[in-house]
Amino acid sequence: MTTVFARPKLQVFGVSTAFVVRKIGLSDLRDALRLGWEDFKAIPTHAVVLCVIYPVLGLVLFRLVVGYSVLPLLFPLAAGFTLIGPFAALGLYELSRRRERGEEPAAWDAMQVLRAPSFGAMLELGILLLVLFGTWIAAADAIYIATFGHAPAATIPDFATRVLTTPEGWSLIIVGCGVGFLFAVVALCVSVVSFPLMLDRHATAIDAIRTSLRAVRENPFAMAVWGLIVAVLLAIGSLPAFVGLAVVLPVLGHATWHLYRKLVEPDPNPPEEQPRPPIGHRYAADFPASLFPWSRER
């Protein structure tokens, strides 16, 4: 049975900032993943994700061809995506929210998040996560330089040999993973429910972070398991040339919305929102506006 933790209401400038946090179990994590998979099947967004992933990968590969100076940061860059993933998944939360309301959203409806009343607050927290990501990359670069110096790896096999077969390389792996773990814990604590809460309840960034920290404090084991699930799924999705991320990222994004629903008590008096009317037939006269459906009033 779900346990509800009621907290005293805080007052900031006369506005109540309390959101009721629930205690969840492992079955709730499984259910969130199941619902995330159902959302992905109903609203396939893999093509959109691929359009984002592969240009970024292309830029990294181009830099690798030009020079190997970015090679030591390739793994930190890939691992660091977990730090900014909650912000990158904003559109997926919007799709899950609309489907929860009984609508039949299309993938492009994710752009409607740009019109959310709390988008400014979401952008503020997103910038904070980007700063955290940049700090992690700087820390990873400093760890590499402290271990191997400024001399770049001559080739990819040379870099792999240096990292995997030398004592310095093993030290780099241990220290790097330890520091990366600390960054991941910070990102999880401040963002596990923050972005869905801001989208759903129009909370401020500070209130959303406070609620996220309380959710982790009340559910340390479940949140640790959730973080492990995210890390494992991202690692699996990255193995076949990052193709698996086209499925893993949307499923995790949708699942995060449903995890938020289980962690935070719903608003007892939600504002009334009218479901989006069916699109109906489209005509040639609508072109080219039909290419940008989010630009029309719904």
- What is the rounded distance in angstroms from the CA atom of residue 49 to the CA atom of residue 89? 10
What's the chain's average pLDDT? Answer: 79
Paired residues of 5 in beta bridges: 21
User: Which range (58-67, 85-94, 223-232, 240-249) has the least confidence?
Assistant: 58-67
Question: In this model, does residue 57 exceed pLDDT 60?
Answer: no
188: confidence class by pLDDT, cuts 50, 70, 90:
very high
pLDDT at 165: 85
Write the pLDDT tens digit of every residue in 97-112: 999 988 887 778 888 8
In this predicted model, which residue has the larger pLDDT, 269 or 263?
263
In this predicted model, which residue has the larger pLDDT, 223 or 67?
223
Encoded amino acid at 147, one letter: T
Contacts 24+ apart (CB under 8 A), 274-282: 275/101, 275/102, 275/103, 276/98, 276/103, 276/105, 276/109, 278/104
pLDDT at 76: 83
Residue 272, C-beta contacts closer than 8 angstroms, at least 6 positions apart = none
- Per the listing, tokens 């030398």 go with 166
88: confidence class by pLDDT, cuts 50, 70, 90:
confident
pLDDT at 248: 85
Mean pLDDT highest for which of 48-52, 74-78, 110-114, 174-178? 174-178
Write the pLDDT tens digit of every residue in 158-167: 777 888 888 8
208, 161, 272: which is closest to 18 by C-alpha? 208
pLDDT at 121: 92
What is the maximum alpha-carbon separation in the chain?
Answer: 68
**Rounded to an integer, what is the distance from CA 286 to the centroid of its chain?**
35
